[in-house]
Amino acid sequence: MDIFIQIAYLAASILFIIGIKMLGRTSTARKGNFLSSIGMFLAIFATVIQVEAITLVDILICVVIGSTLGLIIAYKVQMTKVPEMVALFNGFGGLASLAVALADFWLNTQEKGLQVDQITGISVAISILIGGVTFTGSLIAYLKLNGKVSGKAITFTGQHLINLILLIAAVAVSIFALTDFANPNFMIALAILSLAIGVLVVIPIGGADMPVVISLLNSYSGMAACATGFVLNNNVLIVAGALVGASGIILTQIMCKAMNRSLINVLLGGFGQTSGGGNQADGPEIAVKEVGVEEAAQIFDSVSSLIIVPGYGMAVAQAQHAIRELSELCEKRNINVRFAIHPVAGRMPGHMNVLLAEANISYDKLIEMDEINDDFANTDLVFVVGANDVVNPAAKTNPDSPIFGMPVLNVEKAQTVIVSKRSMGKGYAGIENELFGADNCLMLFGDAKQTITKLVGELKEL
């Protein structure tokens, strides 16, 4: 039986690795997700056979409740709410690691009166510490994102010092716990400290910067699960936890790079205090040129190359289907249509890719920033749909701008730029965008979905 379980764990681990690899390409992502689910099913199945403490029926009841809840949440969640859903799931992952490690430690040392070896003791302490930080940190991230806790950075004097003292205290109680396994109070104190650290580390971070923090907490939840794998001596948990831990940290690094943030800055907290809140002093008002739908349709009708730049506003307006219609109409008129995808457009990695794929826009039309950035200069028309920061030239020209140094799309180099947004509202970084006042830029005000639907209607008339 043990051999069967180990083979099932090995197969599950291989499926996880292949699944994650396939998630790296939009065209194979669905299959990768499916393979990973089969891996998870195998892992659960093997674990169910192995477990002795509770009955099969108990486990099945939990699996049914958990899967039903997961399905309902996944079906109901709006695309714009995915980051907060991920935050909540990460948090539960952290809580599970904390609870399992603490329970296993209690069972062995208190109930069975066993001596735990040092490696297991260290793994228990790491699971509790990282699991606790992940749980409360993720809950705060969730509450900030859905507005139940202020999205602004909550700071007070001595905050970093208190965090440091709590961290030192956590390390100290872990050492005490390792020297005196018979006394469970140290591990319980560690759990309380880690829960407090999670809250204090995340509250000083601005709500708008939460996606990066969530990616980091996702990595933490993986690390906690990996440590719990050592506690339980469970190979698949070690592999799956390590995969989540590593991929989360890589994703965090990619996001930081694309936003021109340093990872250390994120790790130390206090991150995001300069952005997301519009802290930058407002400059003189930008004079813009407006364009109506009719005139815009005539411009579309006259060009031979078009790059569409989607941003967060497209997600808010759910304009992706209208955009597909527009792009098909343009292609019928022999216009070369492509989409420029900025790595942090929207509010989560791959946000634009997912929405455009949902609208059946072919993957080969979605071009990454690095590949398309030199082509803007040779393009007749750029249509910016609900994007703001990712097309803000200040990132290249204004050293005082909070986004200075962030790589952006060179849309201003095109012959004409039309921007679809509702007003002169700012984007995520809370700053003005001089692109909107540029000579070659025309503002098409209104909700993106409604405006593009009207634009399609006008184009059909021409």
- Residue numbers of the site for ligand NAP (CB under 6 A)? 211-212, 255, 259, 311-313, 316-317, 344-349, 351, 386-390, 420-423, 425-429, 447-448
- Whole-number minimum distance, CB 152 to ligand NAP, in Å? 16
Return the number of the residue (127 or 401) whose C-beta is nearest ligand NAP. Answer: 401
Identify which of 356, 263, 265, 274 has the alpha carbon closest to the alpha carbon of residue 309: 356
In the complex, minimum distance from the CB of residue 297 to ligand NAP, in angstroms, rounded to a whole number: 18
CB of residue 316 to ligand NAP, shortest distance in Å: 4
Q: Which is nearer to ligand NAP, 134 or 353 (CB)?
A: 353
Q: Which residue sits closest to ligand NAP, CB atoms considered?
A: 427
Nearer to ligand NAP by Cβ, of 221 and 353: the residue is 353
Written as one string, the DSSP assignment of 31-77 is HHHHHHHHHHHHHHHHHHHH--SS-HHHHHHHHHHHHHHHHHHHHH-
Residue 179, helix vs strand vs coil? helix
| Three-class DSSP category at 344 | coil
Identity of the residue, 108 or 453, whose beta carbon is nearer to ligand NAP in the bound complex: 453
Structure tokens at 21: 């690899």
Kindly name the residue from 389, 400, 439, 447 that is annotated as catalytic: 389
Distance of CA 256 to CAs 244, 252, 404, 410, 437, Å? 18, 6, 13, 20, 29
If the CB atoms of residues 87 and 259 are measured against ligand NAP, the closer one turns out to be: 259
Give me the long-range contacts of 357-365 (CB less than 8 A, separation at least 24): 357/26, 358/320, 359/320, 359/321, 359/323, 359/324, 360/324, 361/320, 361/323, 361/324, 361/327, 363/26, 363/27, 365/327, 365/337, 365/338, 365/339
Distance of CA 391 to the CA centre of its chain: 21
To ligand NAP, the closest distance from the beta carbon of 95 in angstroms equals 24
In terms of CB distance, is 81 or 426 closer to ligand NAP? 426
Taking Cα atoms as reference points, which of 218, 214, 199, 191 lies closest to residue 126? 191
Nearest-approach distance from CB 238 to ligand NAP, in angstroms: 29
Beta strands in 257-319 (DSSP E): 305-310
CB of 181 to ligand NAP, least distance (A): 43
447 is annotated as an active-site residue: no
At closest approach, how far in Å is the CB of 277 from ligand NAP?
13
| Rounded-to-10 torsion of CA 315, 321, 322, 325 | 150
Sign of the torsion angle spanned by Cα atoms 432, 433, 434, 440: negative
Closest CA to 356 of 382, 381, 309, 321: 321
Q: What is the CB neighbour count within 10 angstroms for residue 159?
A: 16
Q: Which of residues 98 and 145 has its CB atom nearest to ligand NAP in the complex?
A: 145
Positions annotated as catalytic residues are 389
